[in-house]
Amino acid sequence: DYALGVIWAIGLGFSIIFWPVPEGDKKPLIMGWLAKCIVMLGFMLYYEYSYDTDSFGYFFASSRSEFLWDGWIFGDGTRNFFQLLCLHSSIFPDSFHWMKVSCALLGFLGVYLCYRAAMRLLMKNDTRVFLVLALYPSNLFWSSIISKDPVTLFFVGLYAFGVACWYSTARLVYLFPAL
């Protein structure tokens, strides 16, 4: 299980070189992902061993359930998150650490989208801002766990990016990510 998570994390880290992001962002993204992997697949093991978290319940329930899509229900985040995890379990290997890495990727992308939104509004690029956001302990830890936190952070980042792009360009197409 752990080896699958490590392989998935390495594969996702390698994929960063192909992401459609500014070339200057790729090195900080790789550095940020490496730090996230050290926390998620290293330090977090002690936390998961010491405390009974919701992550285990989410994983076991989603990997033992059949995925039946019946749509999103606004206001029922737990159910929506559970459906997302069931979908993940039906596509990817049945691995706690694989799922944890997938959730961590969403949190990581959320941090990056928040960074890009800020840079869009400030009309400059400073990757040090991304590293500060990505390495901030709360972002680094709580967005690397199987929970609603990384998913929420991703959607907050998507919203912020859409609004920042819309505000800076007045193009309505950028409101779609915000919606």
Q: pLDDT, tens digit, for every residue of 5-37?
A: 999 999 999 999 999 999 999 999 999 999 999
Mean per-residue pLDDT of the chain: 91
Supply the pLDDT for residue 67. Answer: 62
Residue 47 has pLDDT above 70, yes or no: yes
Is the pLDDT at 51 greater than 90? The verdict is no
pLDDT at position 68: 66
**What's the rounded Cα separation, in Å, for the pair 37 and 42?**
7
What is the rounded average pLDDT of the residues 97-104? 96
Q: What is the pLDDT of residue 108?
A: 97
Exposed/middle/buried for 46, CB within 10 Å: 0-12, 13-18, 19+?
exposed
Long-range contacts of 130-139 (CB under 8 A, 24+ apart): 130/25, 130/28, 130/29, 130/32, 131/28, 131/31, 131/32, 134/28, 134/32, 134/35, 134/36, 134/108, 135/32, 135/35, 139/107, 139/111
Percent of the chain with pLDDT over 90: 64
Q: Which pLDDT belongs to residue 69? A: 66
Percentage above 70 pLDDT, the chain: 97
Best CA proximity match to 98, nearest among 5, 1, 166: 5
Confidence of residue 178 (pLDDT cuts 50, 70, 90): confident
pLDDT at 64 over 80: no
- What is the C-alpha to C-alpha distance for residues 65 and 44, in angstroms, rounded to an integer? 26
Average pLDDT over every residue of 103-116: 97
Exposure of 1 in the CB half-sphere (CA atoms within 13 A): 8
With a cut of 80, say whether residue 170 has pLDDT above it. yes
More confident residue, 64 or 152: 152
